[in-house]
Structure 1
């Protein structure tokens, strides 16, 4: 039961996180938006650090999870958005012509974008959304692949973690030289472990999707891309079956993070192929649906807190 509840708690966070970012873009002017996003990322970092000193495995996990979500949104996605807008990065279009003109005054840039000769005020305008396949900030994310590889290098060759995938690589791909490789667990601060797990898995899946979507590599309708989506769906179901057997809240929440992100990967692919409408990308036109998700998350969280309080007293 704890595994299922943990799964839904983390699952609700995914569309709510997307929706929060969209609403901030819609209601905040550019300059306050970037300051607010930077502050959000800093608060997320502080929460992860604060979790190191929290009592109990579950509390530390919650601090790490919320901190990671704020950190990813503020210091990863919004920072990519800031630099994409500042230097006039183009979106990927389904068809048409996009052009930008950037004017610099004392080193400060101002960019004007046209799509098919029409001035674009906001990439979320209805007529623009039908043409844009991928926003500029996500197109520049694959440039971080080298940094991601550095993280993976230390995790694969030096660290013993709780990730079954990394453990499988360490056991099978380097079995002939396993005596020469010394894997040591990191100092176990559960909040930091949760924080790193969320960000690294999210980062890995975004890179995977961006390389799949890129027609130079594969393309979103390529058989390999579809196979990756199917593989993630099957893997997610396998992980979900393991998740339902976990009886500790902290461990269930941490395993739910990986499970939800893996399952979310084929959801993104299907949304890209227009199999269904991604309501979290346009929350202002799906207020009822997003409100139901928010209410479900709040109700589930409140029920769990009340149940914990009753047991404690």
Structure 2
């Protein structure tokens, strides 16, 4: 058997595009918190989530797999930031949830302390995906094979109606959600703690998993599918980054955007250039298929 073709540039570009959304998203939230009143932040956050939802819906009616993926990616990130993170922040502040403080420094904000209470909702969504859908998620497919064995095609025999924008949107939100739940469980001293050996093993496991996923991604020819794979790869890769930042192994410059404006502006410029490049690529492919 001959070797499959490797798409190094597509994989790197897709990975970097999604990777840059991580520090940019953190920086955006911090800039909003430091430059706006609490009331304005909540209004802006709610508006951000609504705009994200609209972008995802627009993506349903856009032609082209790559473009639909980009609409779903950007919309999903805005939705998560606005209607998940900022809404948790609003209710945490409204009802006086206190942050976790160590040595006089806030290590966990109030909104993240209450986020684990959403575990039941996450499991509800996962139950639906595992028992009612046939999809392209390797993790869910693996669970289905282990649970159902030879009856897999009988239990989950058909996919949902497929809209690439919605698929990307759900992927972004479900994997981000799972990552936050995992990290909050690891950081919680009632269970493990941020310096617990198991927490370090989780980080190492995610790093190795991200390398394995990146290797698989190298063989994906389609820009849209490569970007969607990057969503999972980047979020898994970002888990050990979060753990290392938590224990002050390195300085998370994106949490101090006012001090590292040049670096963040360079990341933003590179992100926008990649976004435009992929949008144009998607447009050319659509015209070539006509």
Task: Work out whether the TM-score is over 0.5.
Answer: yes
Would the alpha carbon gap of residues 307 and 154 (structure 1) be closer, same or farther in structure 2, given more than 3 Å must change? closer
Post-superposition Cα deviations, 1:181-211, rounded to whole Å, max 9, x if no partner, equal: 2332110011000000000000000000000
Q: Say which SS state the counterpart of residue 13 (structure 1) adopts.
A: helix
List runs of 5+ in structure 1 lacking aligned partners. 97-130
Aligned to 1:234: 208
Aligned to 2:196: 222
Aligned to 1:167: 141
Higher strand proportion: 1
Query: In 1, Cα distance between the equivalents of 2:62 and 2:282?
Result: 17
Would the alpha carbon gap of residues 186 and 309 (structure 1) be closer, same or farther in structure 2, given more than 3 Å must change? closer
TM-score normalized with structure 2 length:
0.91
Query: In 2, Cα distance between the equivalents of 1:146 and 1:261?
Result: 21
Query: In 1, Cα distance between the equivalents of 2:138 and 2:197?
Result: 26
- Residues 1:244 and 2:252 aligned together: no
- Residues 1:90 and 2:64 aligned together: no
Number of positions where the alignment pairs a residue of Structure 1 with one of Structure 2: 279
Displacement of 1:305: 4.8
Higher helix proportion: 2
Post-superposition Cα deviations, 1:38-77, rounded to whole Å, max 9, x if no partner, equal: 1110110111111111111111111110110110000000
1:140 to 102, 114, 117: 114
Would the alpha carbon gap of residues 91 and 42 (structure 1) be closer, same or farther in structure 2, given more than 3 Å must change? same
Q: Say which SS state the counterpart of residue 133 (structure 1) adopts.
A: strand
- Residues 1:257 and 2:265 aligned together: no
List runs of 5+ in structure 2 lacking aligned partners. 1-8
Q: Decide whether the 8 Å contact of 2:67 with 2:282 is kept in 1.
A: no
- Residues 1:281 and 2:255 aligned together: yes
TM-score normalized with structure 1 length:
0.85
Aligned to 2:54: 46
Would the alpha carbon gap of residues 152 and 272 (structure 1) be closer, same or farther in structure 2, given more than 3 Å must change? same
Q: Decide whether the 8 Å contact of 2:66 with 2:278 is kept in 1.
A: no
Larger Rg: 1
- Residues 1:8 and 2:20 aligned together: no
Post-superposition Cα deviations, 1:83-126, rounded to whole Å, max 9, x if no partner, equal: 11111111111146xxxxxxxxxxxxxxxxxxxxxxxxxxxxxx
Aligned to 1:103: none
Question: Which structure's relative contact order is higher, taking Cα pairs within 8 Å and 6+ residues apart?
Answer: 2
Q: Decide whether the 8 Å contact of 1:157 with 1:183 is kept in 2.
A: no
Displacement of 1:175: 1.9
Query: In 2, Cα distance between the equivalents of 1:136 and 1:234?
Result: 31
Displacement of 1:301: 3.0
Would the alpha carbon gap of residues 179 and 187 (structure 1) be closer, same or farther in structure 2, given more than 3 Å must change? closer
Q: Decide whether the 8 Å contact of 1:218 with 1:225 is kept in 2.
A: yes
Query: In 2, Cα distance between the equivalents of 1:83 and 1:205?
Result: 21
Displacement of 1:300: 2.9
User: What are the residue-to-residue correspondences of 1:193-212 with 2, within 5 Å?
Assistant: 193-212=167-186
Q: Say which SS state the counterpart of residue 93 (structure 1) adopts.
A: strand
- Residues 1:152 and 2:126 aligned together: yes
Aligned to 1:187: 161
Aligned to 2:4: none
